[in-house]
Every structure is written in C-alpha cells, then in structure tokens.
Copies of this chain bind each other. A is one copy, B any other.
Amino acid sequence: MPPYEYPLLLKHVLESGVRWAPEQKITYRDQFEYTYADMYQRVLQLAGALQSLGVKPGSKVGVIEWDSHRYLEMYFAVPGIGAVLHTINPRLAPADVAYTMMHAEDEVLIFHEDFLPLVEKLRPQLTTVRKYILISDKETPPDTPLADTDYEAFIRSASPLDELPDFDENTQATQSYTTGTTGKPKGVYFTHRQMVLHTLAEMVTLGMLTDFGGITKRDVYMPLTPLFHVHGWGVPYAMTMAGARQVYPGRYEPAMLLKLVLTHKVTFSHCVPTILQMVVGAPGIEKYDLSGWKIIIGGARLTKGVAQQAAKLGIHLYAGYGMSETAPLLTIAMLKPTLLDVPEEEQMDYHISTGVPVPLVKLRVVNADGEDVAHDGKDRGEIVVRAPWLTPGYLKEPERSAALWEGGWLHTGDVAVIKPSGYVQIVDRLKDVIKSGGEWITSLELENLLSLHPQVAEAAVIGVPDEKWGERPLAIIVPKGDAPAADDLVAHLKQYAAEGVITDWAVPERYEFVEALPKTSVGKIDKKALRAQFGGGI
C-alpha cells in the first residue's frame, strides 16, 4: 500500500475548524445564527448542488454578495469541488464588472438581491453565464426573471456530498481583479496550496501577537473588509481554521455594524481607514463601550491621528500590509518580543508602521538596480517580495506578468525604508513619489503629519509641476470644522522639520481645501483623480 500523499486543500482548513469547534457559533446580522457543524453541512450541500448543476473542476463561479455566512460557505464549497471562486467587486464601474466576469469566463453567477439592477444592466453582456442564482435576505425571495433559482432552494436541490474530494493542491481556487492605474482591471489568482499556506502563516502571526492584538479563544471576529477584496484579507479562512466565533455584518451600515459589535462583543476586525471612520465617526460614539476591540488597518496608511482617536475609544489599531497580488498578507505591525517593554506611547509608533514580514515572507527594499538599500530608515527603494502565496501573474496578460515578476521577485510598486529595528515603513507608491530638486518627497509622511493638526480631518499630498524644482508637493485638505489657515499648516509641519522628522524643503507651500477627497472603489484616496483636478492647473 503506498503512503497517502496529503494535498494542501482548503477543505482541510474547514475540516480543522469544524472538528475543533463544531458547536461554535456564526452569526449573520441580526437575522440568523448557526453552528460550525451546520455550516459544514451546508457547504457539503452547496458542493453537491454545484456538481449537479454541472460545475466541474476549473469552472468559474462568480459571486456578488455582502459579507455573510453564505459567502463563507461559498469560500469553501466552490473551491472545494475544484471549481474557481471569482469574488466579484461590485464597486467597479458596471462595464468593468462585466469585463472581469467575461475575462474570467464565469459560468455561474450567485448574486445578492441588492444587485438586481446591476445584473439587469449587465445581463446582455454576460454571454458565458448559464445559471443565475439569487441570494435574498427575505423569507420569500423576490420573483424575478433575472434568476433561475434562489440560493436556499438551490442548496436544497441536491444531495450533500459525503465529504469534499481530493485533488492536486496546485488547482486554482480563487480569482479576483485589481484595479490598475491605467487600463482594465487585472486578474490575480491563487491555488489551494497557496491559500492553505496563507491561512497557516496568518494564523501563526495572529497567535504570535498575544501581547497586543493577538487572537485568543475568547475573541469574537467580525470582518469589516468586504469578502470580495482579496479573500477578506484571508482572515475568514484563518478564523474558521481556529474555530473562532464569527459575526458577518452583511452590507456595511453604520448602525448595524455598531449594533453587532455591541451585541456580540466583537473584539477583532480589520478594515481600511475609511470604514473605520464610518464606525468611530458616528455621532455620540463615545457613549458606547468599544474597549478591547482590536482592528488591523490596511489598504492605506494608518496615521497616528486616527490611531490616537481610536485609542480614546479603547480600540487598539495596528497596521497590516499586502495587496491583491499577494493574497494579501505580507506584514503585520506587531511588537517584536524584544520590544515588549518600550513605553506605551512609543509602542504606537511600531503599531502604525508597515510592520515586519510574517513567517515565510521574504521582503527586500531595492533601488533601481535591484540592490538592497541600507536598513537605516532613510534609504528608499521599492518593496519586492517572495512568499508561497503570490499570484503567478495577471490572467491572460503575459507582458504585465513578466513586469510584475521582473528579476524573480514580485514588484509591489510601494516605496519604503527599512529601519534599523527591522520594521518596514512604506513612504509612498512608486507612482505617487514627488521628485523635487532631484530628491524624493514622500506624500504619505506629509499626510500623516497633517492628520495630527486638530483642524484637519483628512489630507492628501500630490506632486505638481514646478519650473525650478521639477515638482513640488501640494496639500489637499478636508478641514475638521473651520478650515485652518495655510500658514498654520506650514508652521505645524515646520515643527516636525525642526525635530528632524521631515526635511525642511518637504513642507508644501500650497494648500487647497475641499469637502471630500475622491476615493477609489477600495476606499483609497484617488490620487489619479486629484492629479487630474489639481495637477494641470498650477
């Protein structure tokens, strides 16, 4: 008898969690609650129903859904039969949604009723889709010609599988798209092996955090990053493996989010700064007890201003870093074991940094010649990485894929320094760096310092053409209450220049005040739009 060759499959992540905590609860909004054992049964049912529908290994199943227990079921059932889960981003422009679905060649679309208008608009273009399955939060799903069946009826339509099958661990599991600065969205994709290793490394990291931000068995998890964004940062997989208590909030509505956090005593989440603002910016928020809530902030820089504001509410923020191309986890800004006794004020500086690579991630910061920069906190370069869970390229785009992997390292496009302590600090996107007088000025550092001014709610800094210097920084400010005078902001920044935090010549001369900053579909400041608005006119 030959020994069993154990493939790394996502079903093992699920089975580990179910075996460990079958009676553990998973909650959906204020509507529904079930156990891991129930969830596992529904995954087996959904897998059986998909097979009955003719979904085969390699078939693409597109999903448009809010964060729900159903999405979690699909996270396991679709890849569980060897098919590919395409997590569609409904915040893209409708034409781009259709583009990604046709580019991925989705055969089945499972979508929430809130997106009926979108699906109606797209349907003529969705030539590869042969089955539409409607998700409804209502007891009686709406009757619509746009769907062939509804999710609950579909799940009940076939016998459950006895268990999920074995197959090659290098089988593609997921497909998603990232919006580039130019052109169409780019497809990234990941195998079962990659996602299992990502899950293990993420859970190891969260376990190693136990003195700050780490996960214990008493934690209650609620995602605040949409599950259609790079596997919800991988955390739903990690939390399921750990058998953690999970709460899924559906569509992000501030009142519902707050209600769920308070009702279930949520202690662990992750989100972009914009979503955090939505929750902690709610009027009267300070009346509520949010203490003990740990939130990983990613997708954009975590500023000290935001971290301090959250700390007043008892919320611990710390940064994580990754991107669609990297599944996404690369670094988490946890305290090293040798730093546990640094003063609390100083600890926050570590927690808001980009952090330290998690186990198995090799991260370098290299100059234009591909050589490592000095780890002195000053020398800048691009972050390039290797890890067992990076996309092998952009789907059907050999040239962009080759550029992504130039020299055998994945190029992130992020500019960073490495401090003597080993902590990484991103200072800019390669394309957002401001080149002034032959030197680089980093917009992110200026934005962070501007955020510390009491009259600044949000700040963005872009480079604008300058005859003498090539480029100069321009600050675009969303005021908190009355707009501050430009001179006050200059004085505020000069203080930090005097302390050596920034150089004197990095302080912008020009300030614009706006009501809101344009954001991309993933909630990041849209600098492309800002450059279009302000870049040409000055």
A1 to B399, CA, bound (A): 9
Interface residue tally on A, bucketed by range: 35 or more
Q: Mark A270-309, 1 if CB is under 8 A from B, else 0.
A: 0000000000000000000000000000000000000000
Q: What are 15 of the A-B contact pairs (CB < 8 Å)? A: A3-B408, A6-B387, A8-B197, A16-B361, A19-B357, A20-B359, A21-B336, A21-B337, A203-B204, A203-B207, A203-B208, A204-B241, A207-B215, A217-B337, A241-B359
B3 touches A393 (CB 8 A): yes
Taking a contact as CB atoms under 8 Å apart, the answer to whether A211 and B218 are in contact is: yes
| In the complex, per-residue mask of A179-213: 1 if CB is within 8 Å of any chain B CB, else 0 | 00000000000000000010011011011101100
Chain B residues, Cβ within 8 Å of A207: 203-204, 206-208, 210, 214-215
Are A210 and B214 in contact, with the CB atoms below 8 A? yes
A204 contact set on B, CB distance < 8 A:
200, 203-204, 207, 241-242
A390 within 8 A of B: yes
Contacts of A22 in B (CB 8 A): 422
- CB-based contact B402/A218 at 8 Å: no
How far apart sit A388 and B197, CA to CA, in the bound complex (Å)?
12
Are the C-beta atoms of A4 and B408 separated by less than 8 Å? yes
For A362, the closest partner residue in chain B by CB is: B15
B217 touches A335 (CB 8 A): yes
CB-contacts of A1-57 with B (<8 A)? 1-4, 6, 8, 12-13, 15-16, 19-24
CA distance A206 to B215 in the complex (A): 12
A25 and B111 CA atoms in complex are apart in Å by 54
Chain B minimum-CB-distance residue to A211: B217
Asked if A407 CB lies within 8 Å of chain B CBs, one says yes
Q: Does A392 contact B (CB under 8 A)?
A: yes
A460 interfacial contact with B, CB 8 Å: no
B356 touches A4 (CB 8 A): no
CA distance A214 to B24 in the complex (A): 20
Nearest-CB residue, chain B, relative to A409:
B4
Minimum C-beta distance from A172 to chain B (A): 14
Least distance between A386 CB and chain B CB atoms (Å): 5
A39 to B16, alpha carbons, bound, how many Å? 35
Asked if B208 and A16 make an inter-chain contact with CB atoms under 8 angstroms apart, the answer reads: no
A410 interfacial contact with B, CB 8 Å = yes
Measured between beta carbons, the chain B residues less than 8 angstroms from A392 are 3
Q: A6-B388, A15-B362 are in contact. Are A408 and B1 (CB under 8 A)?
A: yes
Q: Are B243 and A337 in contact (CB under 8 A)?
A: yes
Closest B residue to A357 by beta carbon equals: B19
A192 vs chain B, min Cβ distance (A): 13
User: Of the candidates B6, B21, B201, B357, which one forms a contact with A338 in the assembled complex, judged by CB atoms under 8 Å apart?
Assistant: B21
- Nearest chain B CB to A370's CB is how many angstroms away? 12
Instruction: Say how far A197's CB is from chain B's closest CB, in angstroms.
Output: 8
Within 8 Å CB of A216, what residues of B?
210-211, 214
| Chain copies in the assembled complex | 2
Q: Does A86 contact B (CB under 8 A)?
A: no
List, in ascending order, chain B residues with CB within 8 A of A243's CB. 336-337
Alpha-carbon distance between A338 and B210 when the two chains are bound, in angstroms: 19
Q: How far is the CB of A230 from chain B (nearest CB, A)?
A: 17
Instruction: Give the shortest distance, in Å, between A203 (CB) and chain B (any CB).
Output: 5
Q: Tell yes or no: A245 within 8 A of B by CB.
A: yes
A39 to chain B, nearest CB (A): 15
Query: Is B1 within 8 A of A405, CB to CB?
Result: yes
Contacts of A388 in B (CB 8 A): 6, 8
Residue-wise, chain A 350-381 has the 8 Å CB interface mask toward B (1 for contact) of 00000011111110000000000000000000
Q: Which of B218, B335, B408 is A337 in contact with, Cβ under 8 Å?
A: B218
**In the complex the two chains form, what is the Cα distance from A245 to B207 in whole Å?**
16
Please name the residue on chain B nearest to A390 by beta carbon: B3
- A137 on the B face (CB < 8 A): no
With a CB–CB cut-off of 8 A, which chain B residues contact A390? 3-4, 6
Contact A405 B210 (CB under 8 A): no
A21 vs B335: C-alpha distance when bound (angstroms): 10
- A340 beta carbon closer than 8 Å to chain B: yes
Please give me the residue from chain B that is nearest to A193 by CB atom.
B8
Contacting residues, chain B, for A215 (C-beta < 8 A): 207-208, 210
A488 at the interface (CB under 8 A from B): no
Taking A3-B401, A12-B360, A217-B336 as given, write out 10 further A-B residue pairs in contact, using a Cβ cutoff of 8 Å, ordered by the A residue number: A1-B402, A6-B387, A6-B390, A8-B197, A20-B422, A21-B337, A200-B201, A207-B208, A208-B242, A210-B210
| A340 with B217, Cβ < 8 A, contacts A207-B207, A210-B210, A393-B3 known | yes
* B244 & A337 in contact (Cβ 8 Å cutoff): yes
Bound-complex Cα distance A91 to B360 (A): 36
Least CB distance from A149 to B in Å reads 34
What 1/0 flags go to A401-422 for Cβ under 8 Å of B? 1101111111000000000001
Residues of B within 8 A of A356 (CB): 19-20
Contacts of A4 on B, CB cut-off 8 Å?
A: 386, 390, 405, 408-410
